[in-house]
Amino acid sequence: MSRFWLLYKVPGQCRVAVLVCAASVSIISMAGCGRNTPGHIHVQKAMTWQCAPESDSPQFPEAQAVRLRFVEDPRYYDVISGRGLCDRLKRSSKDAVMVEFDVWGNASGMVGYLEVALDGEMIKNVGGFGSSNATESGGTHPLARLFK
């Protein structure tokens, strides 16, 4: 017997509406229940920093690039840009800062992340360069461990 046997009792014009409604309910109910539903985690990590003027871009004169290395695993580092970022970190006189991340992923692992703030102060995005790198292969990215 067909799953849609009730549709035979529905008048012709309404059949399409009932079918679309049933399909929509199925999709909506499956969207929130799957193991691959993305999740966001906000986390802070200690990172050392150094200005990265080689990554500054003339197209974005306000953006200053900074290289951030994870204290827990210095093989992994990011280069981020923000308004006056290098100058701000120089004024702090700190060797390391707390970086707040918005990290997203699912049961398969980390999908991506974004640096949101340094020592509680929002990063002001004005364009510029950004990247994520490792000095050697192997191992697990410090933020990927959140989804294991």
CA dihedral for 55, 81, 71, 110, sign (positive or negative) = negative
Burial of 135 (0-12, 13-18, 19+ CB in 10 A): exposed
Task: Give the C-alpha separation, 44 to 49, whole Å.
Answer: 15
Most confident of 15-24, 26-35, 124-133: 124-133
**Highest mean pLDDT: which of 18-32, 90-104, 128-142?**
90-104
What is the value of pTM for the model shown?
A: 0.72
Domain ranges of the chain: 1-33, 39-147
Q: What is the DSSP letter of 5?
A: G
d(C-alpha 148, C-alpha 124), whole Å: 31
Give residue-wise pLDDT tens across range 26-49.
Answer: 443 344 444 455 688 999 999 999
| Start-to-end CA span in the chain (Å) | 43
